[in-house]
């Protein structure tokens, strides 16, 4: 047995997926410097990692299981309720905790436990592992979702900020206009993915109203942003016939290289 492999990594991937989504980040990012699994392998060293377990409902998250497996990640399918946002519930964190405790008692040579989550919900698990004399490290999102009273350093040997670890700050150096373009493209792409909008067309007036409300723009600013999207060919005209009537709207231009990258960063596959 190779005792150098003394590190076990457990990833609440569904939690991380939705946590990073608001930054338009994909955990399995095409750029290695932003890729969660590549960065973890580099940071801990492939020779020291005994296992890397990822938990998610892969029918809900737009991630390639094959891509993760090629990165030596063992994927664990855990079904959720199929909802998103605050109504989303899944058993990924429960299964992660159960598997971690099983490894704790069945593979005593594991010295370092790495827990990757988007928030501080794993504190009870961290405390239990730490009390058993293991080195415990946590990766989570240090943003407004993190409780100001959370004293993570008291429950683990080291706490890492996922935003810094994945070099998200480098992506945030975009100008305000570029970020608005990025966010609007993703907003329109996700509108068409919504099952409630099947067979509908997203018209220019609705787009302007939505981006004005969502990004806190006045009418002039939303018009200017929309015109830039059209001139830059980020959007293409789209029409649909419903009950013998033609409705006009716009879709994102998935042949545009920048649009493809924006959509991929948001966590979606682009064929």
The residue extents of the domains of the chain are: 7-171, 176-265
Q: Are strands 112-116 and 135-140 parallel, antiparallel or unpaired?
A: parallel
Report yes or no: 237 and 250 within 8 Å, Cβ to Cβ: yes
pLDDT of 23 reads: 74
Contact 141, 17 (CB under 8 A): no
Mention every residue, 6+ apart, whose C-beta is less than 8 A from residue 227.
none
Is the alpha carbon torsion for 65, 11, 89, 61 positive or negative? negative
CATH superfamily of 7-171: 5'-nuclease (3.40.50.1010)
- pLDDT recorded at residue 1: 42
Q: What is the pTM of this model?
A: 0.65
Token pair listed for 78: 């855990």
Residue 56, Cβ density class (10 Å: 0-12 exposed, 13-18 middle, ≥19 buried): buried
Question: What's the pLDDT score for residue 101?
Answer: 96
* pLDDT tens sequence for the chain (271 residues): 445 789 999 999 988 988 887 777 889 988 888 899 999 999 999 999 999 999 999 888 888 899 999 999 999 999 865 555 444 456 788 899 999 999 999 999 999 999 998 766 788 899 899 999 999 999 988 765 555 445 666 788 998 989 889 987 655 555 677 878 888 999 999 999 988 988 889 999 999 999 888 888 888 888 989 999 999 999 999 888 877 888 899 999 999 988 988 888 777 777 6
The pLDDT of residue 87 is: 44
The SS3 of residue 264 is helix
3-class secondary-structure state, position 252: strand
Name the class of domain 176-265: mainly alpha
């Amino acid at each position: 047995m190779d005792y150098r492999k003394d590190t076990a990594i457990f990833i609440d991937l569904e939690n991380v997926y939705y946590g990073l989504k608001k930054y338009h980040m994909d955990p399995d990012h095409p750029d290695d410097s932003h890729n969660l699994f590549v960065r973890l392998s580099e940071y801990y060293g492939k020779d020291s990692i005994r296992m890397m377990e990822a938990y998610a409902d892969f029918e809900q998250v737009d991630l390639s299981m094959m891509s993760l497996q090629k990165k030596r990640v063992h994927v664990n399918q855990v079904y959720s309720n199929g909802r998103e946002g605050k109504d989303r519930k899944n058993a990924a964190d429960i299964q992660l905790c159960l598997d971690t405790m099983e490894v704790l008692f069945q593979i005593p040579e594991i010295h370092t436990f790495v827990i990757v989550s988007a928030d501080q919900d794993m504190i009870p698990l961290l405390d239990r592992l730490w009390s058993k004399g293991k080195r415990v490290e946590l990766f989570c999102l240090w943003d407004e979702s993190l409780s100001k009273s959370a004293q993570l350093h008291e429950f683990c040997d080291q706490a890492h900020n996922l935003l810094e670890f994945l070099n998200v700050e480098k992506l945030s150096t975009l100008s305000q206009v570029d970020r608005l373009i990025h966010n609007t493209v993703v907003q329109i792409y996700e509108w068409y993915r919504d099952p409630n909008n099947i067979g509908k067309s997203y018209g220019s007036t609705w787009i302007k109203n939505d981006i004005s409300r969502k990004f806190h723009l006045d009418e002039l600013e939303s018009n200017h942003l929309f015109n830039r999207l059209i001139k830059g060919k980020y959007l293409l005209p789209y029409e649909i016939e419903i009950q013998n009537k033609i409705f006009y709207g716009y879709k994102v231009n998935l042949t545009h290289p920048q649009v493809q990258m924006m959509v991929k960063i948001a966590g979606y596959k682009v064929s």
